[in-house]
Structure 1
Amino acid sequence: MNGTPQTIPATDGYPLGARLWTAAGIPQGVVVMHPATGVPQRIYQAFAAFLAGRGFHAITYDYRGIGASRPKGLRGFAARMRDWMLLDAEGVMRWARARYPALPQLAVGHSVGGHAIGMCGAGWGLAGAVLVACHTGNSRFIRQRGERWRVELILRGLGPMLARLIGYVPGSRMGLGEDLPGGVAIEWGAWAGMQRYFFDDPTLGAVGRFNGVTNPVLVYGFDDDPWATPPAINALTTHFTSTWVERRQIAPAEAGAAVGHMGFFRPKFAETLWPGLADWLVGHASAASTDVEAAA
Structure 2
Amino acid sequence: MTPVRHAPAATAGVDARPVAIACRDGYRLRGHLWRPEANRPPGRGTIVVNPATGVRARYYHAYARFLAEQGFVVLTYDYRGIGESRPARLRGSGIRWRDWGELDFDAAVRWIRQREAGPLTVVGHSIGGFLPGFAEAAGAVDRILTVGAQFAYRRDYRARERLSMIAKWHLLMPCVTAAVGYFPGRRLGWLEDLPDGVAYEWAFRGRRMEASYPAAERPALLARFAAVRAPILAVGTPDDPFGTPAAIRRGLGYYVSSPRIQVQLTPSAIGAEAPGHFGLFHARRSGGFWADTLRWLSDGQNPWPDSVIDPSHPIPA
**TM class, shorter-chain normalised?**
0.7 to 0.9
Residue 41 of structure 1 and its aligned partner are, at CA, apart by 0.5
- In the alignment, structure 1 segments of 5+ residues that lack a partner are 286-296
Task: Map residues 144-223 of structure 1 onto 2, 5 A cutoff.
Answer: 144-145=159-160, 147-174=161-188, 176-191=190-205, 194-198=206-210, 201=213, 202=215, 203-204=217-218, 205-223=220-238
Q: What percent identity do the matched residue pairs reach?
A: 39
Contact 1:252 1:259 in 2 (8 A): no
1:67 aligns with 2:79: no
2:209 and 2:164 mapped to 1: Cα distance?
A: 18
The Cα shift of 1:157 comes to 2.0
Contact 2:106–2:137, Cα closer than 8 Å, also in 1: no
Q: Which amino acid aligns with 2:33?
A: L
Aligned mate of 1:44, from 55, 60, 73? 60
Distance in 1 (CA, whole Å) between partners of 2:177 and 2:254 is: 31
AA of the residue aligned to 2:200: I
Q: Per chain length, whose mean CA-contact separation is higher, i.e. which structure has more relative contact order (CA < 8 Å, sep 6+)?
A: 1
User: For the residues of structure 2 that align with 1:108 and 1:264, how far apart are their CA atoms?
Assistant: 12
Instruction: Determine if contact 2:139/2:227 at 8 Å carries over to the other structure.
Output: no
1:210 partner amino acid: F
Counterpart code for 1:152: I
- Output the aligned Cα RMSD: 2.0
Give the C-alpha shift of residue 30 in structure 1: 0.8
Name the structure 1 match of 2:284: 268
Deviations 1:249-271 (A, max 9, x none): 11234211211111111001001
For structure 2, the residue ranges without an aligned partner over 5 or more in a row are: 1-9, 302-317
Residues 114-172 of structure 1: CA deviation (Å, up to 9, x unaligned) = 11123227743222111111023111122334x21222223332222222221110112
Describe how 1:1-296 pairs up with structure 2 within 5 A: 1=10, 3-23=16-36, 25-27=40-42, 28-100=44-116, 102-120=117-135, 123-145=138-160, 147-174=161-188, 176-191=190-205, 194-198=206-210, 201=213, 202=215, 203-204=217-218, 205-256=220-271, 257-284=273-300
TM-score by length of 2: 0.82
Of stretches 83-92 and 206-215 in structure 1, the one that deviates more from structure 2 is 206-215
Return the TM-score normalized by structure 1. 0.88
Deviation by residue 1:194-247 (Cα, 9 ceiling, x = unmatched): 232346643355432222211111111101111111111111112222121122
Change (3 A) 1:263 1:206: farther
AA in 2 matched with 1:178: E
Q: Aligned pair in 2 of structure 1 residues 130, 198: CA closer, same or farther (>3 Å)?
A: same
CA distance in 2, matches of 1:237, 1:89: 18
Cα distance between partner residues in 2 of 1:243 and 1:283: 17
Q: Distance in 2 between matches of 1:44 and 1:6?
A: 16
**Preserved contact between residue 31 and residue 75 of structure 2 (Cα < 8 Å):** yes
Give the structure 2 partner of residue 292 of structure 1.
Answer: none
